[in-house]
Structure 1
């Protein structure tokens, strides 16, 4: 049982909901720890083939709960102890992860969404680099994820100006995969997650791992990483099912194994 998040599993999909709606799902030490724990459960449970992260109420997450750090002098230790383990666990999760951004994603809430594989945004959602407004710098992986998505120049602009980005603008920048109308929100999130959960999970994990590692490698090293990953993928039951389905001219039924 968790106190600041909800964590449920259904039909191969895990739903992690940030659950402090009265505080716009602002992060606390407890929430960081509970998210990290839920991510570990997701990683180790073979029945979970897709993870959806969303927020309860009007917000996705407004970032750190500033009321809890008024007297803090070492913000770096907060990152090392609370946020970094959470972001690393999320980035290393070898299963597809969807950020269902239902409302504002600000500061570390924006960072959490960026660390996911897909960002599905409500038409009412917005994104804000709010760190600059309290004299801080982006954190929780922003310097890694944001420039890779929008480019270094745009990342610098967003970080320094700290202006609100609408869902439409976020789509144009490549920050979100899809903008969803309010009345279709639940159905489209479930459909997107269901599609990912029905795909070959091991191959998705290998794609995520190889892509992450390739960012700092040369061509020869990447080619070797690809060969290594392909060998593993070729041994999975899903690969054999995919080949059989192709030869038999039918839809493949993947088991994530």
Structure 2
């Protein structure tokens, strides 16, 4: 049964459906871009769901995709939002705060499943990395930002899941992406399913998980997290804000931000768009 949550938000929705409480990114007109306002609501809902809702939390996006990543209108401006040029300390604090929102998923007492359809790009992939289980559609597009003005903020968080070589391949090519089946092959996701089965599959998985008592689930999650942290998972996440804040002051990145301001998002993307490297194919060269 679908039960609406008593707490209301503008940029997300919370729906309780049996064993699972869905936290739904609800900015479909903006490709579910992760604005500061949406992320504030996300963090609030996540905290409320510690003591409310079902034994399992699901995260998905409304509309055509999961999320296109951080709202470029807020994070891509030149010297305005967060005083990116003048105040690297404020920039670092902002970047760290975003990661801390996802660390709260990692530390949450309930299992969290990310259900990805359509597209899951840039900062949205960080959210999925910190989910306990990720289920994607076969045709999902999962990838890096097209405009390469970030440094070590996205791909380093992929390393514990896919390894350093695959993370580097993703990071080195602007806008690089993989599909759902490849995401499972690489270890980024658990399962890849047909688009029309995504919600039913995740809700079925939640029902099976919910057969285990909540206190047992909590300790199972904690013990597995500790094993992952012994391998460096938490420390890797703690370093990404520093790397990205450092690069935001580089002349080449400031130039890209200026191009974005001058040309607009669509025209700026054209400067860097290329085919993904998976599967790897040669570039067709124009005869001389």
Instruction: Place the TM-score, normalised by the shorter chain, in its bin.
Output: 0.7 to 0.9
Structure 2 unaligned residues grouped into runs of 5+: 1-7, 232-288
Rounded Cα–Cα distance in structure 1 between residues aligned with 2:102 and 2:43 = 8
**Contact 2:117–2:195 under 8 Å retained in 1:** no
Map 1:90-101 onto structure 2 (within 5 A): 90-101=105-116
**Partner in structure 1 of residue 65 of structure 2:** 59
Aligned residue pairs, count: 213
Q: CA RMSD in A?
A: 2.0
- On the 8 A contact 1:102/1:122 being kept in 2, the answer is yes
Q: Write the distance in 2 (CA, Å) between the matches of 1:146 and 1:59.
A: 20
**1:5 corresponding residue in structure 2:** 12
The answer (yes or no) to whether the contact 1:43–1:94 under 8 Å persists in 2 is: yes
Judged with a 3 Å threshold, the aligned counterparts in structure 2 of structure 1 residues 43 and 80 are, in CA distance, closer, same or farther, namely same
* DSSP-derived class of the 1:60 partner: coil
Shift of 1:217: 4.5
Are 1:170 and 2:179 matched, yes or no?
no
- Is the contact made by 2:19 and 2:203 (CA closer than 8 Å) also made in structure 1? no
Q: Which residue of 2 aligns with 1:239?
A: none
Equivalent of 2:121, from 70, 85, 106? 106
- Cα deviation, residue 137, structure 1: 2.3
Q: 2:41 aligns with which of 22, 34, 47?
A: 34
Q: Quote the Cα distance in structure 1 between the aligned partners of 2:143 and 2:198.
A: 21
1:117 maps to which of 132, 135, 143: 132
Higher RCO structure, 1 or 2 (CA under 8 Å, sep 6+): 2
Tell me the TM-score normalized by structure 1: 0.76
Residue of structure 2 in register with 1:191 after alignment:
204
Question: Conserved in 1, the CA contact under 8 Å of 2:115 and 2:199?
Answer: no
Q: Is the 8 A contact 1:36 1:85 kept in 2?
A: no
Q: Name the CA shift for 1:156/1:199 in 2 (closer, same or farther; >3 Å).
A: same
Q: Distance in 1 between matches of 2:230 and 2:202?
A: 35
Are 2:96 and 1:89 equivalent residues in the alignment? no
**Structure 2 partner of 1:180:** 193
Deviation of residue 181 (structure 1)?
Answer: 0.8
